[in-house]
Amino acid sequence: MTATTGMMRGAAAEQPRRAVIYRMMTPQHICPSGLKALDLLRRNGFEVEDHPLRTREETDAFKARHGVPTTPQVWIGGERIGGHDDLRRHLGLKVHDPKALTYTPVIAIFGMAAALAFAVAWGVGGAAALATAYTLQLFLGFATALLALQKLRDVEGFVNGFLGYDLLARRVPRYARVYPWAEALVGLLMVANAAVWLMAPVALVIGTIGAVSVFKAVYVDRRELKCACVGGQSNVPLGFVSLTENLVMIGMAVWMVARMM
């Protein structure tokens, strides 16, 4: 191989890869998948020929011309790759599955609860207050309140999921609508360190019923259900997390009463 040939191959290798994308971008709607696909191409070193489709008519004509149901559509090296998810697969990247079971919502809630607890404890007592029972109490209170908030965002969705396994709610369906408010009350009183005489029995009752219900559904009946602990339409599996939530509720009640004695 001559030096000239080697230089030509080197120059060809250094040329940026080229991609073409057609994406919907009208005054009324900017396609989020199109923006994500465009960004993904650029971050992966492609030189992108971007074709925004400015009207609904232009978009419909494009889809009819190429026989595709949706936009965006990406071409690489003259080959049609497809939409955003198809592009991720082409690049060897993970594709989000909206139906996949996940603990991400639970991790986010407990992570935020811990951050809030540390922030408040630091603000009240400085670094010395972080490793104290007060910080733990704040964490449990914030976590409970945030879990209640998720349920209250979509009460109907929560009720539909909760009725699938809670023993009391299946006998008295209205209990499913009361539960998020009772849980919120427990969390707020825990943070405020107030009305333990009310917080403790409420936490003990709903926590015990919940723990027994989850244990029966998952470990006795062996049912595969989604947990309503983070609200309706979640993909969190019913099991260890749900049981732990209810056991923690029971522990909170016992601990708070014990501290008063």
Instruction: Tell me, yes or no, whether 126 and 214 share the same domain.
Output: yes
Could you tell me if residue 239 is inside a domain? yes
| Residue 252 covered by a domain | yes
**Closest CA relative to residue 71, chosen from 58, 87, 82:** 82
Answer whether residue 9 is part of any domain: no
| Residue at which a domain ends, from 29, 57, 90 | 90
d(CA 83, CA 68): 10
96-98-99 Cα angle (round to 5)? 125
Both 79 and 120 in one domain: the answer is no
For residue range 182-225, list pLDDT tens digits in order.
Answer: 999 999 999 998 999 999 999 999 999 999 998 998 889 888 87
Residue percentage of the chain with pLDDT more than 70: 93
Per-residue model confidence as pLDDT tens digits over 89-141: 999 998 987 777 777 888 899 999 999 999 999 998 888 888 888 899 999 99
Same domain assignment for residues 124 and 249: yes
Which position has the higher pLDDT, 159 or 260?
A: 159
Paired with 75 in beta bridges are 20, 80
The DSSP secondary structure of 198-252, one letter per residue, reads HHHHHHHHHHHHHHHHHHIIIIIS----B--TT-TT--PBSSHHHHHHHHHHHHH
| Pair (171, 249) in one structural domain | yes
Q: Are residues 173 and 81 in the same domain?
A: no
Q: Domain residues for 186?
A: 104-260
The per-residue pLDDT for range 11-47, each reduced to its tens digit, is 444 556 899 999 999 999 999 999 999 999 999 999 9
The model's pTM is: 0.78
Whether 12 maps to a domain, the answer reads no
Domain with residue 81: its CATH number is 3.40.30.10
Strand partners, 22: 51, 73
Give how many domains the chain has, as a whole number. Answer: 2
